[in-house]
Amino acid sequence: MPLLACGALALAGGLWSALLLLGVDVPVPRPTLPEVHGPLMVLGFVGTLVALERAVALGTRWALLAPASSGLGALTLLATGPSLGAKLPLATAAVVLLGIYRALWRRQPADALLGQAAGALAWYAATLLWLGGLSVPEIVPWLATFAVATIAGERLDLALVLGNRARRWFLAALAALVAGVTAATVWPAAGHHLFGAGLLAVVAWLVTFDAARRTVRAAGLPRYVAVGLLAGYAWLALAGVLWAGAGSTMDGPRYDATTHAVFLGFVLSMIFVHAPVILPAVLRRPLPYHPVLYAPLALLHLSLLARVAIGDGAGLEPVWRWAGVANVASVLLFAACAVTLSARSAVRS
């Protein structure tokens, strides 16, 4: 619970910094808070959740060093901004996470672990490049690779039966993604186009082999999960098209659209729909499915659509701002729904 609390604080700080970046009139606790919005959300929040889930899966105490390090890094980011004392624990967390995947591989080798380990390696590369002086926009492809490779590996891991053909194509898509993100750093002019192509390769694999295309016609939790997955894949495809077609971007409306298509449309959608499956295994607390969970999911995607299509695409700043506020509200609404459903279930049991 203390480690999860660190992730929750990182999320709170990330959402507060989002409001500041949107120009909302809220107090500014630290001038450096807007600078660390991306690392707080991706490494502090998502990274801590991933590391905690993998540590619980391994079942050894030393593995908890990974979420502890990322949690410490997130808290230091909140306190000091992008300092050396914040970046080093985040890099340490990635190294320990790689150690967790090595231990899991020795227990039972699996292609899904290769995908997740590639994500941890991208996390480590992002922190090294950040330590080396690159800006957050310059390491965004590595942060995206961490999230995308980890989630794709999880989807392969959760699949019940997939043939050798699906696994071979998974490894090919993963190789394209890793090659693309490496090229984006070494040859930025052409590399971002290749990175976009790598993202599209992963999307193609997900759409082709994921069971969501079938389970979307089911009912209850399977349908809820499938709806969130397919919507997330659509946003990831948009980000891939923007990167592959237009190349590098470091600011402005296209940067806003591309990054939030990945980290809001894809990553947060994955978190929303996987929470009823993964959080009970991590926390040993129930999180039953209820149709009310569609409310924050719909708010997330509809507000992001308005933000990207009207705010970024048409250049209407008021729409961009209030759609961004609605993005934040969707996360808070999901958290409120999750806490309420879990508490009600615990009382009944």
Per-residue pLDDT tens over the stretch 55-107: 999 999 999 999 999 999 999 999 999 999 999 999 999 999 999 999 999 99
pLDDT above 70 coverage of the chain, percent: 97
pLDDT at 285: 76
pLDDT for the residue numbered 156: 86
Q: Which long-range contacts (CB under 8 A, 24 or more apart) does 89-93 make?
A: 90/39, 90/43, 90/44, 90/47, 90/123, 90/127, 91/124, 91/127, 91/128, 91/131, 92/65, 93/43, 93/47, 93/48, 93/51, 93/65, 93/66, 93/67, 93/68, 93/69, 93/123
The predicted model scores a pTM of 0.95
Of 34-38, 155-159, 286-290, 313-317, the range with the lowest mean pLDDT is 155-159
Nearest CA-CA partner of 272 in 215, 228, 212, 211: 228
How sure is the predictor about 160, in pLDDT bands with cuts at 50, 70 and 90? Answer: low
Spatial separation of the C-alpha atoms in residues 152 and 170, rounded to whole Å? 9
d(CA 276, CA 319): 32
Residue whose entry in the numeric block shows the structure tokens 């990182």: 10
| Rounded (5°) CA angle 235-199-131 | 105
H/E element, 80: helix 65-80
Q: How confident is the model at residue 194 (pLDDT cuts 50, 70, 90)?
A: very high
Model confidence at 161, pLDDT cuts 50, 70, 90, reads low
Is 80 exceeded by the pLDDT of residue 163?
Answer: no
3-class state of residue 30 by DSSP: coil
